[in-house]
């Protein structure tokens, strides 16, 4: 198994948003409403928001590929005057 973690680039945003949609549908449907899922996806994974966050110094995104396939992603946010970090 070949695992590769790399920073997210602008060319990767659409793939990550698509994976987020698949993950949220499989994970949260039945727990929260479809309307809530749609709202959260639009709020957190809208293309322009991801592109904007890629330019912010206190937010960074990574992606993980397993055997060449996108398998996951994460975002990190520096908070509390840079003394803490939130992993999402």
pLDDT tens column, 2-23? 999 999 999 999 999 999 999 9
pTM score, two decimals?
Answer: 0.88
pLDDT tens column, 20-30? 999 999 999 99
- For the chain, the DSSP string reads --EEEEE--GGGHHHHHHHHHHHHHHHHBTTB-HHHHHHHHHHHH-HHHHHHHTT-TTEEEEEEEETTEEEEEEEEEEETTTTEEEE-
Q: How much is the pLDDT for 31? A: 96
Q: How much is the pLDDT for 81? A: 83
Token digits of residue 57? 């110094």
Domains of the chain, CATH where assigned: 3-87 (3.40.630.30)
């Amino acid at each position: 198994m070949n695992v590769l973690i790399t920073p997210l680039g602008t060319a990767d945003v659409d793939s990550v948003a698509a994976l987020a949609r698949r993950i949220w549908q499989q994970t949260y449907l039945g727990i929260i409403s479809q309307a809530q899922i749609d709202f959260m996806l639009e709020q957190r994974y809208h293309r322009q928001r991801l592109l904007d966050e890629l330019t912010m110094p206190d937010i960074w995104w990574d992606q993980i590929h397993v055997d060449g396939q996108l398998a996951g992603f994460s975002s990190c946010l520096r908070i509390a005057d840079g003394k803490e970090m939130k992993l999402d």
